[in-house]
Amino acid sequence: MELLRTVAEYFLWFLLYSVCGWIMETTLYAVRKKQAVKRGFLFGPLCPIYGVGMILCMLLFYQRIENIFLLFLAGAFVCTVLEYVTHFVLEKLFHSTWWDYSGKKFNIRGRVCLQNTLLFGVGVVLIVRVFQPFLILWTAKIPNTVLYAVSFVLYTVLIIDLTTTIAGLKNTVEVLKRLQTDINEHLQKNIDETDAYMTELSERIKASALVSEAVERFRHGNSPLVRLHNAYPHFKLERYKDAVQLLFDKIDEKKDEHKKDAQK
């Protein structure tokens, strides 16, 4: 029972830090871009990488490193490595790019940057030395029955969210695959044509039934691809980059048309 309670407590902490990470990212993005956009991969208000990072730092550093400066360095290092590895895995397995720090100073292949590393270090110090002790005391007061029930409900919601998101992304990729194949066939047939002809060809592809169908589905169906594009402007699917760009151009055109109609 002791092990079960420990797992349940860590799960709640993981969710809490994931939600806090989501709130922080959403707030900072809104301040910088002056635009309210829901960040995160999942439908729910979660950024799991923050939960994973903080739980990892908890296991490694809590009541193990007393020196604040060493804690800062260790936390900054671990979180930076986690961010780099996460970016690398997503890039290699899914041919996707979620964030790009190439425009920031002291970055490594656009995957990590010094600014975030310093922020990670400060965050780990605050959480491990200030917030986590209070969080431990608070969760210790929750009765086993309540703790297990809440954890089970939240776990179920998380699994449903994850399953729904993955299913939606899978359907999106199927549409992109069809569209990319169609684009490649047109381009291969006319590879030596003039720029003007290629522009005309692009417009014809945009007007095709396949593109219109995909645009309507993505525009009205809360597509994971559209949500990711809004939340992460640097998000790319390299394997279907032409199809993605074509769809977003067309979706933007539709949005502009609706704005003009609304102003009339």
128 and 169 belong to one structural domain: no
Q: What is the mean pLDDT of the chain?
A: 77
Q: What is the pTM of this model?
A: 0.74
Average pLDDT estimate for 240-244: 69
pLDDT at 201 over 80: no
Higher-pLDDT residue of 178 and 125 is: 125
pLDDT of residue 194: 47
Last residue of a domain, one of 142, 175, 197: 142
In a domain, 264, yes or no: no
| Segment 96-141, tens digit of pLDDT | 777 788 888 888 988 899 988 999 999 999 999 999 999 999 999 9
Last residue of a domain, one of 91, 107, 142: 142
In a domain, 147, yes or no: no
In a domain, 151, yes or no: no
**What DSSP assignment string belongs to the chain?**
-HHHHHHHHHHHHHHHHHHHHHHHHHHHHHHHHSS----SSSSSS--HHHHHHHHHHHHHHTTT---HHHHHHHHHHHHHHHHHHHHHHHHHHH-EE----TTSTTEETTTEEHHHHHHHHHHHHHIIIIIHHHHHHHHHTS-HHHHHHHHHHHHHHHHHHHHHHHHHHHHHHHHHHHHHHHHHHHHHHTTTS-HHHHHHHHHHHHTSHHHHHHHHHHHHTT-HHHHHHHH-TT-EEGGGHHHHHHHHHHHHHHHHHHHHHHH-
Tally the domains of the chain. Answer: 2
pLDDT of residue 94: 66
pLDDT of residue 79: 93
Question: What values do phi and psi take at 166, rounded to 5?
Answer: -65, -40
pLDDT of residue 202: 55
| Segment 10-34, tens digit of pLDDT | 999 999 999 998 888 888 777 776 7
Domain span holding position 125: 2-142
132 and 168 belong to one structural domain: no
87 and 170 belong to one structural domain: no
Higher-pLDDT residue of 252 and 11 is: 11
pLDDT at 203 over 60: no
pLDDT at 162 over 70: yes
